[in-house]
Structure 1
Amino acid sequence: MAMEVSLPLPLLPGDVIKEILVRMSVKELLRLRSVCKEWCILIDSPEFIRTHRKVSKLGLFINDFEHLYWLDLDTLDSSSSSVSCTLERLDKSRGFVALNLGCCNGLIVEGYCGYLCSGGGVPFLWNPSTRNYGKVSFNKDYASYSLTTVIGLGYDPLIDDHKIFTSTVIVPQKRKKRSVCVFQQYCVKAKTWKKLICNDALSENYGYDFGHVFMENSTLYWVVTPWDEEEKEDNEDAFCNVRFILGYDIVTEKHTKLPLPTSFEETHCFVFGPCDLDGCLSVVRQKKNERSCFEIWVMKEYGKEEERRSWTKLFSVVAAAADHGPGYFQSRMRPIKYYESTNQLLLYVDCERLILYDSKMNTFKHVHVPILGVAGRFEAYLAVQTLVGI
């Protein structure tokens, strides 16, 4: 009887190995680092990390204020009346999960509140996929009589560094003087603070809410309102007077203004956003006299030239009137993802639920999220899982 001879496995070219590894998840890559020294060096290299980040699929970070989870949007099972999903818990080695103050390239700025102060409240910059995190150093230049809010997190490709953007309200010691607003940026790797060049233009408006910012290329976008409009209206109507979208390029340090759809000027309405819908800047419009009707508008082309700025209304979603069923929601709605093959739109509503809306049948399905959290509420925001370091 002939003896069986085991043949050595063929060696794959390095380029082929790289192409295989770059398509794997962060969880798998962290394990594969221990296979050999060559793989560890490859996976830890800046070029591999950048390439892996660019090909990573969008998913959802879900924060129930006790734990953080990852939801792969391609795994939603919509075959039944109630859609099921599988979550992966990410914070096994960390003692807290707080509010999301900004998210970019798999990194999250988190804190117990939206503010920084000299006595506490300093946020963390965290990569939940690799479980690496560190504190953001406090800017002592405005330590006294000030209140600083994190308004966004972005990436500067020229210096390969992430930047945290803040708005600081400096309260004067004398009562008769008005408060002054200062906009700054914090470079994560350099650990340095800098006042923005266009500080005066930014301070003319309000609405730079943490967690409500859209980034395209190197530009951050907010839905803002001029300060003088707030003085003309009461608290409720102040939300109905949003005038434009303000963009800030973190590389050139220049700002730009994008107009909202012209139909928004015809009647009072609430505008929520900006949102990321399939890589496009989008906003949600709710008419003041039709609270159950929500319109989703998308700007598919937005450059410096005025003629390229075009808005398109993609969906009109009407919430159910009765206080029951998956189609009922009251105040807030944010589009997450459009599944073109099934004509379904994933929505995050009322800060506590995910639902699937069928745009052709005008029907809703509840997405069962298997977490409890604080009072049943949770944050949900689009992100990618990456190897990006702190």
Structure 2
Amino acid sequence: MQNLPQEIVTDILSRLPVKSLLRFRCVSKPWRSLIDSKDFVKLHLHQSTKTNSNRFLLFEDTLLDIFAVDLDSFERLDLGDPPLNDYGMANSCNGLVLAVSDRPVLWNPSTRKLKELPPTPLESPGDVKVYVNELYGFGYDSKSDDYKVVRVTEVGDGQDGEYLYSETKIYSLKSNSWKRVEDYPHILPSGKRVWGVYLNDALHTVVKHCHHCESIMAFDLGTAEHHELPRPDLTGENIGVASVEVMGGYLTVLVPRKMNRSEIWVMKEYGVKESWTKLLCFAPPMPEPYMNLTPLAYLKKGDEVLLNYDGRCLLAYSLRKRAVRIVDVPGLVPQFYDVAFFGTSFYAEVCVGSLVSLDSPSEDDGSEKQSIQSQEKANKDNNNRDDFLSVGFKLVL
């Protein structure tokens, strides 16, 4: 094992969970330099995404208690003491979670690092009394290799509620600053935690128009421009797109029908209308009208779809058997058949364990340079490399 080439050692380490990698940083300086390097962080994230590994569900209940379970075994995970008192989770991207309160924060549950975003005032007219509706979105801009938070603020007259204007600002993790961009041209969706869900460098949301017509809009995080995506061809009465989600790396929409039925459609090829495919039609045996149904993830071999049923319980729908079962999660009491539901509900977000840093480049440059120098020194001397590998594995054993 100690004679393995560095490329193979790197490949092996990239397949391990974050918890193990954080321990292995103590093996030696070269291992720490490798694990902390940006290239390795991206490789580890790529491996987890490709193999659907290191995934977990992050829960928040109405009391703002936060906990996590493994997405395959549903066993409880140790998050320590989540530093998110009075914060509400929004959405996640590449292992980072956006949480919102008076000031939004970014949090990596795997490394337990937290970053509070700088304040940015609302640029409202002087003495105008207003009410404010505010939603956030969070994603990754691959063109600039930057994580970005989008804040859309809707301002209205405080007396009669008349809409006045909206303001859109983007936060860049790389520059640790906000900037204002072109205002959002639509009314914000109601009853949502986030303004848009992330996929392919863009945030996506459903926009309601008059006469019960909807559009799927995408906001490009690189260009700050809006564009419309095609909807699936829907027929029948009372058909419309209720929400847009992302599942398994594909854009997914929820379409409610009559008789409590809900359809879930998947866009197999991004931006191509003809690629919309109906994944399932689900009809829970409940007497009350349509409730919120959110597709979360494919389970294990991809033959089951995990669904959040209105914050009441988790359901697993078998694509092969066309049957549904309630998923037992430690800490959650299913409320599936409770018509007069007044208990504790929950919000669930699918996350991936990652080493993605919350440091801006100015904060990270010094350690990065030191990592590169240490790695170069290690590569010059194969004997030294073999020595630290040998000692390292003895420590693990």
Residues 97, 110 of structure 1: 8 Å contact kept: no
Query: Aligned AA for 1:74?
Result: D
- The CA deviation at 1:18 is 0.8
Structure 2 residues without counterparts, runs of 5 or longer:
334-341, 359-397
Q: Aligned residue for 1:118?
A: none
2:116 paired with 1:135: yes
Q: Aligned residue for 2:215?
A: 244
Cα distance in 1 for residues equivalent to 2:169 and 2:208: 20
Q: Aligned residue for 2:394?
A: none
Cα distance in 1 for residues equivalent to 2:189 and 2:64: 28
Q: Aligned residue for 2:275?
A: 310
Identity of aligned residues (%): 28
2:263 paired with 1:282: no
RMSD: 2.9
State the TM-score, normalizing by the size of structure 1. Answer: 0.78
Cα distance in 2 for residues equivalent to 1:371 and 1:169: 36
For 1:324-352, what per-residue CA distance to the aligned partner results, in whole angstroms no more than 9, with x for missing partners? Answer: xxxxx951111223348584322110112
Further displaced range: 338-347 or 162-171: 338-347
Cα distance in 1 for residues equivalent to 2:223 and 2:171: 16
Q: Which has the higher helix share?
A: 2
2:241 paired with 1:271: yes
For 1:222-262, what per-residue CA distance to the aligned partner results, in whole angstroms no more than 9, with x for missing partners? Answer: 11113xx2xx7xxxxxxxx2411001111233321113223
**Pairing partner for 1:190 from 143, 151, 175:** 175
Paired residues, what number?
A: 339
Alignment of 1:44-63 (within 5 A): 44-56=36-48, 57=53, 58-63=55-60
**Pairing partner for 1:70 from 68, 71, 88:** 68
Q: Aligned residue for 1:354?
A: 314
- The CA deviation at 1:73 is 2.4
2:134 paired with 1:149: yes
Query: Aligned AA for 1:302?
Result: Y
Change (3 A) 1:10 1:122: closer
2:8 paired with 1:10: no
Query: Aligned AA for 2:168?
Result: F
State the TM-score, normalizing by the size of structure 2. Answer: 0.76
Cα distance in 2 for residues equivalent to 1:339 and 1:69: 20
- The CA deviation at 1:384 is 0.9
Q: Aligned residue for 1:319?
A: 284
Change (3 A) 1:309 1:100: farther
**Pairing partner for 1:381 from 342, 349, 366:** 349
Cα distance in 1 for residues equivalent to 2:188 and 2:198: 18
Residues 152, 166 of structure 1: 8 Å contact kept: yes
Q: Aligned residue for 1:23?
A: 15
Q: Helix, strand or coil: the match of 2:194?
A: coil
Q: Helix, strand or coil: the match of 2:27?
A: coil
Q: Aligned residue for 2:232?
A: 261
**Pairing partner for 1:221 from 197, 204, 220:** 204
Q: Aligned residue for 1:204?
A: 186
Cα distance in 1 for residues equivalent to 2:161 and 2:199: 41
Query: Aligned AA for 2:207?
Result: V
- The CA deviation at 1:167 is 0.9
Query: Aligned AA for 1:385?
Result: G
Residues 296, 314 of structure 1: 8 Å contact kept: yes
Structure 1 residues without counterparts, runs of 5 or longer:
1-8, 76-84, 113-120, 233-240, 324-328
**Pairing partner for 2:292 from 332, 341, 357:** 332
Cα distance in 2 for residues equivalent to 1:332 and 1:174: 31
- The CA deviation at 1:97 is 6.2
Q: Aligned residue for 1:122?
A: 103
2:140 paired with 1:158: no
